[in-house]
Amino acid sequence: MAELQAGFPDIMRAAASNRTRSNTIGARSPPPPPVVDRSDWAARVGTKHKEIAALKERIYPLERACSFAQEYYTDEGSIKAEKRSELLKEDVIMQLIMQHLEMEGLRQSRKELEKVSGRRYVQRPELTDSRLVTLMRLAVKDTEMVWDHTMDDKFTTEETNANDLREHLLSLDLHEDKTQSEDTNIWNESQFNFVPEEKDPNSLKAASLNHIILRMTDEETKSNLRDIVLYTYQTFVTPEKLLQKLIERYQVPAKDPTLSKRDEEWRVQKARIRIQVIQVIKSWITRHFDDFKNSDKLMTALEEFIKMVEIESKNLAQQLTRALDLHTGVKTIEDSSRKDKIPEPKIPWKTIFSPALTIWDCDDEEIARQLSIIEFNIFSSIQASELMNQAWTKPRLRHKAPNIIKMTERSNLISNWVAFTILSQEKIRKRVKAVTRFIRIAEFTAGMNNFSTAMAIVSGGLGCTAVHKLKYTWAELPNQQSRTFQELSEKLTDPLAYRNMLNAADQPCIPFLGLFLRDLVYIDENPDTIDDLINVNKRKQIYDIIEKVTRYQNQGYSFVEIPQIAQMLDSKRMYIVTEEEMNRMSDRCEPRNADRNSIQ
């Protein structure tokens, strides 16, 4: 992989002296010498062969793991001494490999390995899985977090990154704790660490972590601060720290200036605060269970807290244990079938069971329905956490936004499929028919408020250069179809018209995700902190977008899935062609400057 990046560092490292301002290329510049410039060959290879670019991107985490390991290994002092001797013992590794082979039923290979290595395989019949695979899975999970913390992005400073990394390594028991981080107990902080919103003094513009916790466990809080924090806290605090702070709040001290001095009143206040804390943690468990599922440390801390609560109040502890027990982690998508009548599927009975079934045999509306079912399945699996920190734009964070990536890939695939299907019709009559049908399908999807698929067909498929330049095909399109296309195209691609259409749409609805993503990038332009206080307003804006996305996720389509048709529209069955190839196909269909008579 090293060679692939060779071109760039040269430019980066070369220091040009005496230059303070960038120069521009003017007429005075001599013509470039006829040497072959290889400076961007890697980029060119990547553009020409998408699969190489994709492969390179996929290998990137491995590359990073190697360089990280090298970097870390040199600093031996930071790994615990006894851990070092524990790691990487050859015998242990050989045993793991042999056990794996045994589990896979590759006894012959295992015996061969035993012979070659001169090590005897120790049978462990109590193990029912391949330890090697399990350990590797665990290792990947742990290292992913290490990468997260070593990543350079504008949302975390180097310092917080280093702190988070240290904390993670501590949790893996790989790092010795030398520094105790400074932290003010929630009951010791002055109450004035916050700035209220100018227009609404009751809501927070910015505040310290302690103050945020205080406000979200306050009975009188009417704002949606709890939801905002529970959805976005990962942008300013770790889950472990958040729980620790909530526990601090739960431990109401006997004396505090904010609390009553009279014993009876104090008891009432204490009980109230405790109920609020329990309620916050309860909704955290109920609605964001993944946070606990993904962190053993958080789960252990929670269990310990529950034990502590139990001593004083069985009732409160039960609320949390019940929330834990009940939790399934599955979002309940409202079944709209109860309200709407399920529309009768339109099935091409003559060909439906034939292996030669094509989309041309199916009804346009039915295709739109099946496309909408598939699209909704992807859209509804997007998690709130995927929308944080612009993860989808960053190669190193992309694994955190799998469904957003799926959604964009699906969109590109549909565009490609539409264009390819039109361009592969050799006769103009058939191309006109294909264009007509896709306009109708797009019209149906838009009518179902599936703007996501409609956008992919209209803007990406019918609107792409290769299809757009088929002037005779477009000229022979019936007037009505042509008008529909213009209207659809206008409504979807003009941002303002689109927003109006979206606001007026009923559910079920699949919005075009791109616009939300852009909103999130813009919101991120605001600073994370204001005068060392957490920018709460920014998190509120992020939450507003998350709230919108999740609202649309609540109600799905009541269409019946028809497997035979759905399969044809599955991503795996869609063919990918490059843009160059599509342009070539387009030129074959309607060569440049060709007159109408020469076109079939």
Rounded-to-integer distance, Cα 281 and Cα 302, Å? 9
Q: Are 481 and 436 in contact (CB under 8 A)?
A: yes
What amino acid is encoded at 298 in this protein? Answer: L
Q: Nearest distance from residue 491's CB to other proteins, in Å?
A: 12
Rounded-to-integer distance, Cα 454 and Cα 442, Å? 5
Q: Which helix (H) or strand (E) holds 194?
A: strand 194-196
Rounded-to-integer distance, Cα 408 and Cα 413, Å? 9
Q: Which of 49, 267, 518, 588 binds other proteins (CB under 8 A)?
A: 518
Assess 408 for contact with other proteins (CB under 8 A).
yes
What is the rounded radius of gyration, in angstroms, for the C-alpha atoms of the chain? 30
Q: Binding segment for other proteins among 79-87, 221-229, 286-294, 453-461 (CB under 8 A)?
A: 453-461
Sheet holding 194-196, edge to edge: 194-196, 204-207, 533-535, 529-530
CB count in 10 Å sphere of residue 490: 12
Q: Are 509 and 552 in contact (CB under 8 A)?
A: yes
Q: Binding segment for other proteins among 20-28, 93-101, 179-187, 191-199 (CB under 8 A)?
A: 20-28
35 phi and psi, to 5 degrees?
A: -90, 150
173: left (phi over 0), alpha (psi -120 to 50) or beta: left
Report which DSSP code applies to 510: B
- The contact mask relative to other proteins for 41-80 (x = CB under 8 A, - = no) is -xxx-xx---------------------------------
Q: Which of 262, 496, 572, 593 binds other proteins (CB under 8 A)?
A: 496
Looking at the DSSP bridge assignments, the partners of residue 23 are none
Q: Which of 129, 494, 570, 581 binds other proteins (CB under 8 A)?
A: 494
Assess 475 for contact with other proteins (CB under 8 A).
no
Q: Which of 242, 428, 456, 569 binds other proteins (CB under 8 A)?
A: 456
Assess 39 for contact with other proteins (CB under 8 A).
yes
- Residue placing its CB nearer to other proteins in the complex, 9 or 125: 9
- The contact mask relative to other proteins for 367-406 (x = CB under 8 A, - = no) is -----------------------x-xxxx---------x-
- The contact mask relative to other proteins for 170-209 (x = CB under 8 A, - = no) is ----------------------------------------
Rounded-to-integer distance, Cα 184 and Cα 167, Å? 18
Distant-in-sequence, close-in-space partners of 243: CB < 8 Å, separation ≥ 6 = 281, 298, 301, 302, 305
Considering only residues 528 to 557 of the shown chain, the ones binding other proteins according to CB under 8 A are 541, 544-545
Q: Which of 459, 481, 537, 555 binds other proteins (CB under 8 A)?
A: 459
Q: Both tokens of residue 566?
A: 């759905």
Instruction: State the pairing for strand pair 204-207/533-535.
Output: antiparallel
Angle at 549 between CA 546 and CA 550, to 5 degrees: 85
Assess 263 for contact with other proteins (CB under 8 A).
no
Q: Binding segment for other proteins among 36-44, 123-131, 228-236, 245-253 (CB under 8 A)?
A: 36-44
What is the dihedral sign for C-alpha 69, 71, 75, 79?
A: negative
Q: Nearest distance from residue 293's CB to other proteins, in Å?
A: 28
Q: Nearest distance from residue 38's CB to other proteins, in Å?
A: 11
Distant-in-sequence, close-in-space partners of 88: CB < 8 Å, separation ≥ 6 = none
Rounded-to-integer distance, Cα 304 and Cα 310, Å? 10
Of 4, 192, 153, 174, the residue nearest 72 (C-alpha): 174
Q: Which of 164, 363, 519, 528 binds other proteins (CB under 8 A)?
A: 519
Considering only residues 277 to 306 of the shown chain, the ones binding other proteins according to CB under 8 A are none
- Residue placing its CB nearer to other proteins in the complex, 521 or 594: 521
* Chain length of the chain: 600
Q: Nearest distance from residue 417's CB to other proteins, in Å?
A: 13
Q: Nearest distance from residue 275's CB to other proteins, in Å?
A: 34
Of 120, 121, 135, the residue nearest 87 (C-alpha): 135
210 phi and psi, to 5 degrees?
A: -55, -40
Q: Binding segment for other proteins among 17-25, 123-131, 370-378, 564-572 (CB under 8 A)?
A: 17-25
Q: Which of 412, 480, 578, 600 binds other proteins (CB under 8 A)?
A: 412
| Residue count, binding to other proteins (CB under 8 A) | 67
Q: Which of 253, 343, 478, 495 binds other proteins (CB under 8 A)?
A: 495
- Residue placing its CB nearer to other proteins in the complex, 40 or 340: 40
Instruction: Catalog residues that contact other proteins under the rule CB under 8 A.
Output: 5, 8-16, 19, 21-25, 29, 32, 37, 39-40, 42-44, 46-47, 152-154, 390, 392-395, 405, 408-409, 411-412, 415, 455-456, 459-460, 463-465, 493-496, 499, 514-515, 517-526, 541, 544-545
